[in-house]
Amino acid sequence: RFVDKNGRCNVQHGNLGGETSRYLSDLFTTLVDLKWRWNLFIFILTYTVAWLFMASMWWVIAYMRGDLNKAHDDSYTPCVANVYPSAFLSFIETGPTIGYGYRYITDKCPEGIILFLFQSILGSIVDAFLIGCMFIKMSQPKKRAETLMFSEHAAISMRDGKLTLMFRVGNLRNSHMVSAQIRCKLLK
């Protein structure tokens, strides 16, 4: 069948070449079209990788400055106070909240301030991209077509001097449809 009874076109395009690169070129739409389990997996994986990357950058700064060797010296002012032993927890505290408690950036560390700015920008970009994807995915009405009913029979009659194919479409929901469009295919 060319068109299913529910109106869905039964033609699939395949072997177009370069399909993977086409999906990656529009990553946002690809993520929106994925199944929920893959979306959640990518969501969790992206945040975890970003946190681990930024935590390793904080640890590298602490290591290069020698903060890890002088962690128990009260007279020494480190770049990030109390980052030893967990740079990962430091990023978790600074990434989403920018609220500091036990671990905090000191004023003796310009590279830490630059890394913090990069961290804030990267966090905002990741948040906007992933939360935007989730919002679009949640707001798409996937099952909306199941609440539209088509008449069992179509009729052909004269209308404005031309033969016209007519059928009825009914909306089972009480809500109005915004910018509704119907596309038909006629096979002769």
Domain spans in the chain, listed from the N-terminal domain onward: 19-139
pLDDT of residue 53: 87
Neighbours of 79 (CB within 10 A): 22
CA distance 52 to 56: 6
> By percentage, how much of the chain surpasses pLDDT 90?
6
Span 121-140, pLDDT tens digits: 888 888 898 888 888 888 77
Residue, of 34 and 101, whose pLDDT is higher: 34
Span 3-17, pLDDT tens digits: 777 767 777 666 655
pLDDT band of 18, cuts 50, 70, 90: low
Phi, psi (deg, nearest 5) at residue 133: -60, -45
pLDDT of residue 161: 93
Q: Is pTM beyond 0.95 here?
A: no
Cβ 99 vs Cβ 120: under 8 Å: no
Q: Judge whether residue 99 has pLDDT over 80.
A: no
Fold of 19-139: Helix Hairpins (1.10.287)
Mean residue pLDDT across the chain: 77
Cβ 126 vs Cβ 50: under 8 Å: yes
Angle at the Cα of 142 (from 172 to 23), degrees rounded to 5? 155
